[in-house]
Amino acid sequence: MYSPSVVASSTDSSNNDNRLFVYEVVGLSQNGNTDKINYPLRRSGNLFITVPYGRMNQEMRRIARLGGKIVSIKPLNGEIPLQMTATSQPTQQASKEIEKGKSMTQAQVKAKDDVPVNIYRPSNPYLGKCVENYSLVREGGQGIVQHLTFDISGGDLRYVEGQSIGIIPPGTDDKGKPHKLRLYSIASTRHGDKLDDKTVSLCVRQLEYEHPETKETVYGVCSTYLCHLEVGADVAITGPVGKEMLLPKDEDATIIMLATGTGIAPFRAFLWRMFKEQHEDYKFKGLAWLIFGVPYTGNILYKQELEELAETYKDHFRLTYAISREQKNAEGGRMYIQHRVAEHSAELWDLIQKPNTHTYMCGLKGMEDGIDAALSAQAAASGTDWATYQKQLKKDHRWHVETY
């Protein structure tokens, strides 16, 4: 759909926040998607859009996603426009004018193929707004797990699949200090659940445990805050962070995903990008296999969407559940994710040895040892030491782990 290539940024953001810029756009035609942009299209196809400084990046991404091309950008007061080429890079002449005259209020255009990190820090978080908060646990499930979506249209927060954002809960701790941020894996693709580049979504379980001394039930500060956050409420967001769980660009890759509970979050983003969204620059043709561990059927998060994808894309997506309180393993005990991995260890081992296979693990930290044991036994059967082989996988950036 869209791969960010340019962004306008300023060396004097305090003066620029209220500035308005005019984008001249070509290549858009009247259709169901462009009917939603709230701007009339001329018969010639040229469109002039007035954009606040703080919305420049989001409008660039949205225009590209709709198939348009920005041919010029200029301040509303008529300073020297920035001429854009077909690759959305400034022409040499325009670049010289900007560098020499510092026009467009010191605006610069640069490539953004890199992974964004720490656009917003704890000292200056982005203030988003909650636009969705609904339960993911169905009848028969346990606990509280919510899907939350935040509006980020007013700033420059952007991210890619596999990253995390920080949430700073309001209030102070028992020492009177502001609460520290908590990191959560992003559950949406870079375009957001509404495909308008204006939102970011999380999958959050309310932390609940028994205090070891008082035996009282203790609830997690940030998870409780988020799970009960009202639609319309503000939320302090930092990040994004993380490069460990990124999806490879290889469209023919094999992607093995091992998840427990809310560890499904980054894999939802992966699968939505692979199958639910339609991209010009990314057409997944490989194999994606999700092995998902939960306690009850009611705890299979995003169950309907996952099963629809598995039915629609049978040749490219495989879905396997490990439901611990409802299924039995080969020894008659509870079926945990490591038991499913053991069941399929021969096939998984064959896939892992392919040079374009990436294996991801996300969820409870306790899942690692059992999965390693299952794969170690299978590797040993072929004369391979799993620990040594795994080290090479990590070195090759093909073994990705995010557990907590």
Measured between alpha carbons, how far is 228 from 19 in angstroms, rounded to an integer? 37
Catalytic residue among 29, 208, 280, 404: 404
Closest CA to 144 of 187, 208, 209, 193: 208
- The span from the CA of 275 to the CA of 277, in Å, is 6
364 in a labelled binding site: yes
402 labelled ligand-binding: yes
Please indicate if the annotation marks 109 as binding a ligand: no
Q: Report the distance separating Cα 36 and Cα 308, nearest Å.
A: 27
The answer to whether the annotation marks 213 as part of a ligand binding site is: no
Residue 203 bears catalytic tag: no
CA distances to 97, 245, 256, 321, 358 from 394, in Å: 46, 12, 14, 26, 10
Reading the block at residue 56, the tokens are: 């420049």
209 flagged as catalytic: no
Q: How far apart are CA 22 and CA 13, in angstroms?
A: 18
Provide the token pair at 57: 């990046």
Q: Beta-carbon neighbour count of residue 234 at 10 Å?
A: 13
Annotated catalytic residue: which of 203, 222, 227, 362?
Answer: 362
Instruction: Enter the tokens of residue 270.
Output: 């992966």
Is 362 a catalytic site residue? yes
293 and 340 in contact (C-beta within 8 Å)?
yes
Number of H helices, E strands in the chain: 11, 19
- Is 184 one of the catalytic residues? yes
- Any binding-site annotation on 363? yes
Question: Residue 255: phi, psi to the nearest 5?
Answer: -115, 110
**Among candidates 231, 190, 267, which has minimal Cα distance to 3?**
190
Q: Is 404 among the residues known to form the active site?
A: yes
Annotated binding-site residue? 95:
no
For residues 197-228, b (16+ Cβ closer than 10 Å) or e, as one string?
A: bbbbbbbbbbbeeeeeeeeeeeebbbbbbbbe
- The active-site residue out of 23, 184, 321, 360 is 184
Residue in 153, 185, 223, 345 annotated catalytic: 185
- Do 245 and 162 meet the contact criterion of CB atoms below 8 Å apart? yes
Q: Is 263 one of the annotated binding-site residues?
A: no
Count of Cβ atoms closer than 10 Å to residue 328 Cβ = 11
Q: DSSP string of 286-308?
A: SEEEEEEEESSGGG-TTHHHHHH
| Known binding positions for NADP(+) | 185, 205, 262, 294-295, 324-325, 363-364, 402
| Known binding positions | 185, 205, 262, 294-295, 324-325, 363-364, 402
Report the catalytic residues: 184-185, 362, 402, 404
